[in-house]
Structure 1
Amino acid sequence: MRIFIFLFILLNAFTGLGQYHFSGQVSKENEGRVIYLSLIEDYRKSSRIYLDQIIQKTLVDSLGYFQFEGNNLLADNRVYQLHLDGCSDELKANHFLGQCDNSESVLFIANNKDTLQFPTSFENQALCTITSTNSKSSIFLDIDALKEEMIFEFMDYTSESSTSLNSKKWFNILQDFAEKSDEPLAELYIYDFLSDRKNETHDYYMVDLESNTYYSKLWIRLLNKYPNASFTKQYENEHRADKLIIEKESKDGNNLPISYFAYLLLGLLILQSGYHVIKNRKRKIDKLAPKILTSQELKIFDAMRKGKTNKEIASSLFISLSTVKTHINSIYKKLNLESRKDIE
């Protein structure tokens, strides 16, 4: 414990230099395992690890310690995830699909100047306690605690009338907590939970959306604090699409089919949101490539961007076709790409 206090004070001294320091401890049995640091820009993709969200990785040392540091994060608050890979090598592919029961993760809020500690708790649990220079960092842990209370209460009273009353009660509790947090990122985390079509909360969310001004006000708060963020545009599109569905159902009568036009508009909004996500991803790849690719790989990467074939690349660089393919495989691996379409 004294070591953590000393490290926290020491690392805190560097926060004014525009550098982040994320460190912590897990059980020694995790020695040599990988911990990933991911940036979560799509609030619908926070439940598991995604290859396109990983920005760094490190290994747990022999004492169970790990650390991330640098100055390449965004200056504004963003949602990040630490994910401890508990899978064996044979199961690693399944791990990335969220199917490894031995993995652990935690979501938190941070920026480029923050110092965070993730100590092992008194129950020897890893990644469930956060000490931070950022007062917003651990807010997701508080929200998760509220969600657990909500779930237990719904399990105790399962009648239709109780479900309706509990829905109204807990929507108010969660939305009130989110608004008072003064952090729209926390509100998006709750919105994702309440509006998720896979959750039992979705039906009441559509009812609540019809008359509750909270959702429109959240959009305004996002525009004020994160005007250029992709998740702000994503929320705008989803909010507008759901409102259109409600308006159409209201005109046609309850439970009547939604018109082809409404579905088409919803599809266009989703495509627009997907376009912004892909565009932002390609910008990240452009920034990352010069830092981690070799000079030869960078030449091949630029040629692929211009749409050149493998034969054309081999001819222009005076190397064999098999060498080009080897370099391309290395580029895919380093940049977490799946195909040539991710580059062109």
Structure 2
Amino acid sequence: MTMKNWSNIFVFLFLLNINLFGQDGISGYVHIEDPQRWGQTVYLSQIQLEENTNTYNTTTIASTLLTKDGFFAFDKNLFTSKDHIYKVQLNPISAEEKNKLSDKIKNFQLFILSKKDTIHFTKGERMFGEYTTNNTADLEWQKLKQFEAKYENLTDDFDPRQYLIETKGYVKDSLQILLVKLIGIKKLDDQNLLEKDAKANPEYYLSFLKELKSSELDPSTYAYLENKLNFITQEIVNHKYKVSLWVNGATSLVIILLIGFILKSRRTKKVLAPIPLSKQEKAVKNLIISGKSNKEIANELFISLSTVKTHITNIYSKLNISSRQDLLLKK
């Protein structure tokens, strides 16, 4: 192989190395109307979603100075191979300016990116204008943002139930990427609707959490949802336990009352006044007590032997006894 060929190979490898390790993950331009009121440093932060808040936790991972024409860039090596939510932001030059400008100008942009993707901000009228990206998750997030746009300016007749139904339906049926679904669910949490719906439909959210855990997403990305669901499911378990205690207590009380009723009925039955004997039955009873036989009783009362036996059966029944001995004991 000639020296020229070796030289060409070296140049090719050198350029390839620059392409692989020097390519920007983020690049683009910032539009600043009043440069004297703004700093010249763009900050790159990683975002962690938090529960029950419209804000989020940010961790600054890099910063870069703007060029004279407003260009900035961040190297791909700042990012991981997994999708994360990031933010680029330009801060006012002072705290005083921040208070004046924070409500007037959007000085940041959120997006999803990984090490294998790129994003480029084009010049525009906004500070961080339109951008192009090849990250599929961010492209789907843009669709979610378009859906959410109709709920940006909520009025007094805002129906949270309808918002819940429509947003949950869109997240469930129209979104395919787990991270974007998680962002959509976070919107429900921002409106204080997630906890109520998770209690009513725990299976859906637990199934979604299972999907998140089996995915390649960083666990810190969905930690807030896992913590909330753990709290909610524990509340459901506690509620079921309390209901179970109440049901068991009520059942035990019913059983106790039923047993008491049965025992009371039996006692009542035992203390019921005996059915009074007829005049003839009293005569038969007295003769039995005096030791007379059935035949002697029949002769004395001028009745048949069978009639005597009938009277004795009635006496035993009315006095709740079964023999002459019992009768003698009752006299």
Show the counterpart of 1:110.
113
- Cα deviation digits, residues 292-334 of structure 1 (max 9, x gap): xxxxxxxxxxxxxxxxxxxxxxxxxxxxxxxxxxxxxxxxxxx
Percent identity between the two aligned chains: 19
Residue pair 1:20, 1:111 contacting (<8 A) in 2 also: no
CA shift, 1:106, in A, is 1.3
Distance 1:94 1:163, change over 3 A: closer
Aligned equivalent of 2:77: 71
Indicate yes or no: 2:69 matched with 1:41: no
1:78: how far off? Answer: 1.1
Q: Letter of the aligned partner of 2:28 in structure 1?
A: G
Matched AA of 2:166: K
- Displacement of 1:54 after TM fit? 0.3
2:164 partner SS = helix
Which residue of structure 1 lines up, in the alignment, with residue 185 of structure 2? 191
Matching residue's letter, 2:131:
I
Q: Which residue number in structure 2 is paired with residue 133 of structure 1? A: 134
Alpha-carbon offset, residue 191 of structure 1: 1.9
* Cα deviation, residue 237, structure 1: 2.2
The count of aligned residue pairs is: 224
Contact residue 41 and residue 90 of structure 2 kept, 8 A: yes
> Aligned residue for 2:62?
56
Structure 1's consecutive aligned runs of 4 or more residues displaced over 3 angstroms after TM superposition are 13-20, 28-32, 41-50, 90-95, 98-103, 138-141, 246-253
Question: Which residue in the other structure is 1:167 paired with?
Answer: 164
When residues 35 and 138 of structure 1 are mapped into structure 2, their CA distance, relative to the original with a 3 A threshold, is farther
What are the Cα deviations for residues 92-139 of structure 1, in whole angstroms up to 9, with x where unaligned?
Answer: 8879xx967545111111111222101134xx1232522112222244
> Whose radius of gyration is greater, 1 or 2?
2
* 2:82–2:217 contact (8 Å) kept in structure 1: no
Deviations 1:141-166 (A, max 9, x none): 332332221355x63744xxx54344
Query: Which of the numbers 232, 238, 244 marks the counterpart of 2:234?
Result: 244
CA distance 1:140–1:240, change in 2 (3 Å): same
User: SS of 2:148's equivalent?
Assistant: helix
Flag the 1:246–1:15 CA change in 2: closer, same or farther, 3 A: farther
Instruction: State whether residues 115 and 132 of structure 1, in contact with CA within 8 Å, keep that contact through their aligned partners in structure 2.
Output: yes
Which residue of 120, 123, 136 maps to 1:120?
123
* 1:1-344 superposed matches below 5 A: 19-29=23-33, 31=35, 33-44=40-51, 53-85=59-91, 87-91=92-96, 101-121=104-124, 124-151=125-152, 155=155, 157-158=157-158, 162-178=159-175, 180=176, 182=177, 184-196=178-190, 199-202=191-194, 205-211=195-201, 213-226=203-216, 229-249=219-239
Matched residues in 2 for 1:66 and 1:37: separation?
11
- Distance, in Å, in 2 between the alignment partners of 1:41 and 1:30 is 31
CA distance in 2, matches of 1:15, 1:219: 38
Q: Is the 8 A contact 1:38 1:56 kept in 2?
A: yes
SS in 2 for 1:137: helix
The two structures have a TM-score, normalised by structure 2, of 0.56
Structure 1: segments with no counterpart, 5+ residues: 1-12, 254-344
Letter in 1 for 2:134: T
Distance 1:76 1:19, change over 3 A: farther
Q: Please give the alpha-carbon distance, in whole angstroms, between the structure 2 residues aligned to 1:80 and 1:46.
A: 18
Q: Is the CA contact (8 Å cut-off) linking 2:84 and 2:112 kept in structure 1? A: yes
Q: Which amino acid aligns with 1:191?
A: I
Contact persistence 1:79–1:110 (CA under 8 A): yes
